[in-house]
Every structure is written in C-alpha cells, then in structure tokens.
C-alpha cells in the first residue's frame, strides 16, 4: 500500500495538478490526486477506527493508498461526488448524500494538515458578495455594483450609469441568453457588456430565478493579476489591445508582463488575504486610464501557470514550497 504525503483534491482534467504532482515527486514526496467525482464508482474508500489510531484507505487510479499520514492538502477544486446512472431514482438522493458526507468526513479527519486553502475559507471566499465586502473593508475601489434578480430594481440602478457589465454570481450561469457570453468550446463564461435600458421586459423578467452581478464598466487600461502565495505577491499586467470586456476573448494569453504594485495596493492585498483567511489566491484588478486600481474579483481556485510561462515568475516553485511546509 502506498502512503501519500500530499493530497490534491481536483478533477480529472487539471494541468495545474499535473504540474504540481511532477514537482512534488521531484522533491521526493508521494502526492495523491483525489477526484471526488470518481466516488463511488471509480473511487473505493474505507476508514477504520482502531486504538490508538485510525487508518484511511483509498483505492484510486488502480492503486491502494493510505492517506492517514497526509500532512498537506491542496483544495484545488471543490468537486461534488456523482451518482451512477444505474442507481434507481428512489435512491439517488441517498447515494448523493452519502457520498457528500463521506468526502466531507475525509476532509474533517485531515483537519490538522496544512490546507491550501482551508475548507471553510475556500467556501466563503468563493462567494462574490463576501469578496466585494472584504475588498471594500480593506480599502479597495470597487465599481458600482448591484447583485439582484429584481428587474425593477435593476432598471432604477442602471438609469444614471452609461455602461454596464454583467457576470455570473455562481456557475453554472443561467437565465437570459442576452445576459451571458459563453464559449462552449473552452468552457468559459465571459463577462459581457449589456444595455439594460434597451433590453426587452421579457429578457429582464428572466432574472427572477437567477441573480446576476451588474457593475458599472470601467475603461480598463491594464488588466492586473496578483498571485498571492503565503505572504508573497507575484504580479503581472496585460495592456488592453481590444475593447472586449473579458481579456480571454481572442487575446494572447502570453502577453502578460511583470507589473510591480504600488506599496499602498500591495498592503491592501495582504490585508485582503488576512480578511479572507487564505494563503493562496489569484486577485484580478483593473487599472484605469488615470492609474487608479479597481478590485474585480478573487479566484481561490484560479488559473496561474500561464502567468509563469509569460513572465518567468517562479509561481510553481513557490507554490510547491508552500505545500511542503506541511511536512516540515
């Protein structure tokens, strides 16, 4: 039976997890990828409680693993368990609840490990409303924002605002097709600009089952990404070359350059990390034509390796060292 040192909770297709597994093995460690969506069909598990210790066994990727001695956990993606197709409808809720309870139980049994990031902090920080409040609390500028599923309130809010963007409060996105821009081939849901004053009442009424985030559009001069790793900040900027609201739409992913932060903004980043209770995140900022910084969002499980490819910043090595702290 293999004994895992580091547990990586993610999904099957994850380039970042692939890279980290390779880095950890080069440092002589034994990482294990845990894919909750494989449970229960392709992930067999048991927890045996004996005196004086417990044994946590998993059968994953065709091998038997002991994760009782895991000291670091990277909560890369919060994935749900699945219900096999052959389960009868009457039992599906029970199977789903049992899988969720078992996976959550594993997390709780490993609570004394180093977590990147802690489970409770990850769930809270994934919430866009909480992010915005924390950003305001530490001094960031935030575009005028309303989060609503009330068409009447939205029209009133948008009346004095010339340009409005919309983005999902949570994924999957739903509601009016006119309130989203989706690239099905790449799995992206883009931020999009909309003209609320010109929208039909029927489109606005589709808000009712699904709240959206609406913000005043900023004329962005430079997109900024701050990768925060255990007290260190690595920052890259991307000069806007098109009028697209979302930089991912058809732009060069390798066009990022090292972008030093002003001391005041740097201090706010560290305060935000403390407020959110995170040791790792990717922060999206926007710099307008006057040089002012605006908070956009925090990605607790965001993409970051493309920043290293473009800038040479040592993100992978720094992140690997963070996880290794749990084994010190």
CB 295 within 8 A of CB 285: yes
Query: Are residues 177 and 228 both part of a single domain?
Result: no
Identify the band that residue 171 occupies on the pLDDT scale cut at 50, 70 and 90.
low
Domain boundary among 158, 182, 216: 216
Domain boundary among 216, 246, 276: 216
Rg, Å, the chain Cα set: 22
The answer to the question of residue 328 being in a domain is no
**H-type alpha helices, the chain:** 15-26, 89-109, 119-125, 128-137, 151-158, 201-205, 263-276, 305-311, 315-324
Identify the band that residue 251 occupies on the pLDDT scale cut at 50, 70 and 90.
low
Measured CA to CA, the distance from residue 142 to residue 36 in angstroms comes to 35
CATH of the domain at 58: 3.40.50
Measured CA to CA, the distance from residue 13 to residue 317 in angstroms comes to 21
φ, ψ of residue 290 to 5 degrees: the values are -95, 0
In which domain, by residue range, is 30 found?
2-116
Sorted by sequence, the CB contacts under 8 Å of residue 85 that are 6+ apart come out as none
Q: In angstroms, how far is CA 59 from the centroid of its own chain? A: 27
The answer to the question of residue 8 being in a domain is yes
Identify the band that residue 211 occupies on the pLDDT scale cut at 50, 70 and 90.
confident
The pLDDT tens digits for 87-143 are 999 999 999 999 999 999 999 999 999 999 999 999 999 999 999 999 999 999 999
Q: In angstroms, how far is CA 96 from the centroid of its own chain? A: 23
Is pLDDT of 173 > 50? no
CB 55 within 8 A of CB 106: no
The DSSP string of 243-262 is --SSTTTT--TT--EE-PPP
Query: Parallel, antiparallel, or unpaired for β 31-34 and 6-9?
Result: parallel
The answer to the question of residue 327 being in a domain is no
Measured CA to CA, the distance from residue 142 to residue 129 in angstroms comes to 12
Q: Which pLDDT score, from 0 to 100, does residue 280 have?
A: 98
CB 214 within 8 A of CB 150: no
The pLDDT tens digits for 193-206 are 887 777 777 777 76
Across the chain, mean pLDDT equals 88
Domain count, the chain: 3
What's the pTM value of the predicted model, to 2 decimals?
0.89
Measured CA to CA, the distance from residue 218 to residue 286 in angstroms comes to 8
Query: Are residues 190 and 156 both part of a single domain?
Result: yes
Higher pLDDT, 203 or 260: 260
Domain boundary among 184, 216, 248: 216
The pLDDT tens digits for 141-168 are 999 999 998 888 998 999 999 899 888 8
């Amino acid at each position: 039976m293999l004994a895992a040192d580091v547990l990586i909770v993610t999904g099957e297709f994850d380039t970042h997890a692939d890279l980290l597994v390779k880095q950890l093995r080069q440092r002589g460690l034994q990482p294990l990828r845990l894919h909750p969506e494989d449970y229960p069909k392709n992930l067999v598990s048991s927890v045996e409680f004996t005196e004086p210790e417990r044994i946590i066994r998993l059968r994953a990727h065709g091998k038997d693993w002991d994760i009782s001695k895991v000291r670091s956990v990277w909560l890369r993606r919060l994935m749900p368990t699945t219900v096999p197709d052959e389960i009868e409808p009457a039992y599906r809720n029970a199977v789903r609840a049992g899988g969720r309870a078992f996976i959550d139980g594993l997390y709780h049994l490993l609570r004394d490990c180093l977590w990147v990031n802690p489970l409770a902090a990850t769930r809270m920080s994934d919430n866009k409303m909480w992010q915005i409040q924390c950003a305001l609390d530490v001094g960031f500028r935030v575009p005028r924002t309303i989060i609503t599923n009330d068409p009447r309130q939205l029209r009133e809010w948008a009346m004095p605002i010339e340009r409005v963007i919309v983005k999902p409060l949570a994924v999957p996105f739903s509601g009016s097709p006119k309130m989203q821009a989706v690239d099905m081939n790449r799995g992206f849901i883009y931020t999009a600009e909309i003209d609320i004053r010109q929208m039909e009442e029927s489109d606005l009424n589709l808000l009712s089952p699904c709240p959206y985030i609406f913000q005043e559009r900023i004329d962005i001069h430079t997109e900024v990404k701050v990768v925060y790793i255990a007290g260190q900040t690595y920052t890259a900027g991307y000069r806007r070359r098109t009028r697209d609201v979302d930089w991912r739409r058809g732009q060069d992913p390798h066009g990022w350059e090292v972008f030093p932060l002003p001391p005041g903004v740097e201090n706010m980043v560290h305060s935000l990390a403390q407020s959110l209770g995170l040791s790792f995140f990717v922060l999206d900022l926007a710099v307008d034509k006057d040089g002012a910084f605006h908070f956009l969002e925090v990605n607790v499980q965001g993409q970051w390796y493309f920043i290293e490819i473009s800038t040479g910043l040592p993100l992978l090595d720094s992140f690997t060292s963070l996880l290794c702290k749990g084994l010190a």
